[in-house]
C-alpha cells in the first residue's frame, strides 16, 4: 500500500488514523498483534523495530527470546473491524545483534522470501504465481469441551438438514441435503449475501476475487476463490483473507471455521493451491505439444512435488484433523498421482486453462490449518527439486491417471502410492526427506526440528484423549 514513511503519515492524517496495528505470524500459523498510537510511529520504528518476546510465538528458546519486528509498510491495510480508526501492517522478525539486527531465519515470512530468492538464483524462474481456493464452513453455533469426565462438541446451522423437523420456531423448510450444497440457489442458499459482502471486503483490501459459491457441504460450506499473485504476497493475502472472513462472520453473529473436517460424513475444507512459474514475464509451464499443454519443466515440477508429497504434507496438512479429510472415497485426494480434470488426484491439471499464461496445475490435498508461508515455500522447493533433478512423474509411476481413481480395480489402486494417513506419518516422512527444503538455506534445519516436536505434541494430545466413539464401541466389553 505504501512505499515510504511519509506516505504512511500522509494517509493517517487524511483518514484520521489513531492507532497502528502490527501483525506477526507465529510458528503454527496464527496472527499475533501489537498496537501503538499513530504518534509513536516514527522513522526509527521502520529502522529499529519494536521489541517482543519471541518464545511466546513458538520460535526461540526463552534464554534468547528478545527479538524485534520491523513493519512492512507495503502490507498496510485499513482495519474495518476496530472502533478506533486503525491501520494494520505485517511485521518481519529480526534477531537483536551488533552492529546490525538481522532477519530471523525461522520467521515464516523470511522463509518465503528466501524461497523466492532461491528460485531466482536457480535461473528456472523469477516468479511463482499461486491462486488459493478458500473453503470454510459458516455455523450459527459451536461449543466444545475436553475435560477428564466429559468431551465432545456441538454444532448447529439453521440451514442444515438435521433441522428439517424443527418445530420450536417457524420452520420454512428449504434445508440443504447432506453433501447437497454445491452451487445451490436461493432460498436454500441463505449465505449468498454474506458471501458477497465477504468478497467485496476482500476486494476492498487488495484481494481480487474470481468468484464465490456455496460448496458441497450442506450445513453452510462456502468457497471463495481469489486471483493469482506472487507466492509470498499470496501468503500475506491468505492470512488477511482468513482474518477478514472470520471477523465479518463474527460481527454478523455467525462463526467461521477453516478446519479440514469439522463434520463427520460431510464434505471437508481444502485449500487447493493453483500454481505456475514465470521467467521475465513468460510462462514456464506451457508447451503446446506436451501432455495437457504442459512443458517438460512443468512435468518435472509435478514429479518433484509428488515425490516429496508425504514430507510436504507435514507443512500443507499440519493438523490431526487434516487426515480426517484425507480419506478414500471423497473429492479430497489420497493418491499420489496427477491427471487432467480429475479431482481424485493429488495434482489436477485444469482442462479449461488453455492459454499459455493460464497453463497451470493445482495441489489439492492442502488445507487452511497450514502456515501459508511454510506450506507455499515447501511446495515451491519440492517442485524446484523436481526440475533440477529432472524427476519424470510418468517414469516414477505417478500417472497420468485420467480416470476416477476410486473406480479402479483393487489391484490397480494398489499400484498407486498413498498420502500419509496421519499427522505422525507425515512427520515421519519429513524426518526422512527434508534435504530439498534446506537448499539455499531456505528452511533452517532447526525450524524443521521444532516443527516436528511441536506437531508431535499436538498429535499425542489428541491421541491420548478418549474418544466418544470408543464408549459406543467398547464400554460394555
What Cα–Cα distance (Å) separates residue 125 from each residue in 120, 278, 382? 6, 5, 14
List the grid coordinates of 332.
479430497
Angle at 67 between CA 35 and CA 106, to 5 degrees: 110
- What does 72-98 look like in DSSP terms, one character per residue? EEEEEEE-TT-SS-EEEEEEEEEE--S
| Residue 411 a catalytic site member | no
The residue assigned the cell 519443466 is 297
- The catalytic position among 79, 107, 215, 236 is 215
Quote the strand ranges of 27-147, DSSP E. 31-37, 50-53, 66-78, 86-95, 102-103, 127-139, 141-146
CA angle 167, 168, 172 (to 5 degrees): 55
| Whole-angstrom distance, CA of residue 90 vs CA of residue 277 | 26
Among 21, 135, 287, 385, the active-site one is: 135
The C-alpha atoms of residue 230 and residue 206 are separated, in whole angstroms, by: 13
Strand duo 50-53 + 66-78: pairing: antiparallel
User: Residue 399: what are its φ and ψ, rounded to 5°?
Assistant: 130, -160
For residue 269, give the 3-state DSSP assignment.
Answer: coil
The active-site residue, picked from 92, 116, 223, 287, is 223
**What's the rounded Cα separation, in Å, for the pair 91 and 48?**
12
User: Is 212 a residue of the active site?
Assistant: no
CA–CA separation, 99 and 259 (whole Å): 44
Q: 116, 362, 367, 385: which is the annotated catalytic residue?
A: 362
Instruction: Please tell me which residue in 92, 107, 133, 297 is annotated as part of the active site.
Output: 133
* b/e code 262-272 from CB counts within 10 Å (16+ = b): bbeebbbbbbb
- Residue 260, exposed/middle/buried by CB under 10 A (0-12, 13-18, 19+)? buried
Phi, psi (deg, nearest 5) at residue 61: -65, 155
Known active-site residue 203: no
User: Is 223 labeled as catalytic in the residue annotation?
Assistant: yes
Question: Is 145 known to be catalytic?
Answer: no
Distance, CA of 303 to CA of 391 (rounded, Å): 5
Q: Is 133 one of the annotated active-site residues of the chain?
A: yes
343 carries an active-site annotation: yes
Contact between 341 and 320 under an 8 Å Cβ cutoff? The reply is no
- Which residues contact residue 410 at a Cβ distance below 8 angstroms, ignoring those fewer than 6 apart? none
Q: Which of 348, 360, 364, 434 is catalytic?
A: 364
Strand partners for 152: 145
At 237, list the grid cell: 493475502
DSSP 178-214: TT--TTPPTTT-TTHHHHHHHHHHHHHTT--EEEEEE
The answer to whether 423 and 320 have CB atoms below 8 angstroms apart is yes
List residues with catalytic annotation: 53, 133, 135, 215, 223, 272, 343, 362, 364
Amino acid at each position: 500500500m505504501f512505499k515510504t514513511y511519509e506516505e504512511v503519515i500522509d494517509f493517517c492524517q487524511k483518514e484520521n488514523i489513531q492507532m497502528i496495528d502490527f501483525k506477526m505470524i507465529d510458528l503454527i500459523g496464527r496472527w499475533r498483534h501489537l498496537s501503538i498510537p499513530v504518534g509513536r510511529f516514527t522513522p526509527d520504528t521502520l529502522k529499529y523495530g519494536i521489541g517482543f518476546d519471541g518464545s511466546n510465538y513458538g520460535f526461540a528458546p526463552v534464554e534468547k527470546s528478545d527479538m524485534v519486528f520491523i513493519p512492512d509498510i507495503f502490507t498496510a491495510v485499513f482495519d474495518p473491524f476496530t472502533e478506533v480508526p486503525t491501520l494494520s501492517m505485517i511485521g518481519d522478525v529480526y534477531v537483536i545483534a551488533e552492529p546490525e539486527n538481522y532477519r530471523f531465519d525461522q520467521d515464516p515470512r523470511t522463509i518465503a522470501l528466501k524461497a523466492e530468492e532461491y528460485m531466482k538464483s536457480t535461473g528456472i524462474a523469477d516468479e511463482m504465481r499461486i491462486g488459493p481456493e478458500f473453503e470454510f464452513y459458516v455455523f450459527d453455533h459451536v461449543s466444545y469441551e475436553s475435560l477428564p469426565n466429559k468431551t465432545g462438541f456441538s454444532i448447529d446451522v439453521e440451514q442444515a438438514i438435521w433441522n428439517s423437523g424443527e418445530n420450536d420456531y417457524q420452520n420454512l423448510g428449504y434445508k440443504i441435503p447432506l453433501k447437497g450444497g454445491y452451487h445451490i440457489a436461493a432460498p436454500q442458499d441463505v449465505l449468498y449475501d454474506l458471501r458477497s459482502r465477504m468478497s467485496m471486503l476482500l476486494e476492498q483490501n487488495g484481494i481480487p476475487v474470481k468468484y464465490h459459491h456455496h460448496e458441497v457441504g450442506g450445513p453452510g460450506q462456502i468457497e471463495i476463490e481469489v486471483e493469482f499473485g506472487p507466492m509470498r504476497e499470496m501468503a500475506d493475502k491468505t492470512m488477511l483473507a482468513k482474518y477478514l472472513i472470520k471477523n465479518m462472520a463474527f460481527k454478523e453473529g455467525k462463526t467461521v471455521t477453516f478446519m479440514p473436517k469439522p463434520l463427520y460424513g460431510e464434505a471437508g475444507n481444502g485449500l487447493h493451491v493453483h500454481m505456475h512459474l514465470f521467467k521475465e514475464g513468460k510462462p514456464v509451464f506451457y508447451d503446446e505439444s506436451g501432455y495437457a499443454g504442459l512443458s517438460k519443466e512443468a512435468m518435472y515440477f509435478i514429479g518433484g512435488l509428488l515425490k516429496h508429497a508425504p514430507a510436504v504434507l507435514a507443512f500443507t496438512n499440519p493438523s490431526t484433523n487434516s487426515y480426517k479429510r484425507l480419506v478414500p472415497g471423497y473429492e479430497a485426494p489420497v493418491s499420489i498421482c496427477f491427471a487432467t480434470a480429475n479431482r481424485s488426484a493429488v495434482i489436477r491439471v485444469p482442462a479449461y486453462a488453455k492459454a499459455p499464461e493460464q497453463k497451470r496445475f493445482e495441489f489439492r490435498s492442502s488445507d487452511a490449518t497450514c502456515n501459508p508461508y511454510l506450506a507455499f515455500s515447501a511446495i515451491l522447493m519440492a517442485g524446484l527439486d523436481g526440475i533440477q533433478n529432472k524427476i519424470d512423474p510418468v517414469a516414477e509411476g505417478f500417472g497420468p491417471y485420467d480416470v476416477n481413481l476410486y473406480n479402479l480395480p483393487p489391484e490397480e489402486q494398489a499400484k498407486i502410492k498413498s498420502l500419509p494417513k496421519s499427522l505422525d506419518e507425515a512427520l515421519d516422512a519429513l524426518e526422512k526427506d527434508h534435504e530439498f527444503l534446506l537448499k539455499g538455506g531456505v528452511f533452517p534445519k532447526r525450524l524443521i526440528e521444532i516443527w516436528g516436536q511441536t506437531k508431535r505434541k499436538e498429535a499425542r494430545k489428541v491421541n491420548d484423549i478418549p474418544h466418544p466413539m470408543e464408549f459406543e464401541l467398547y464400554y460394555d466389553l
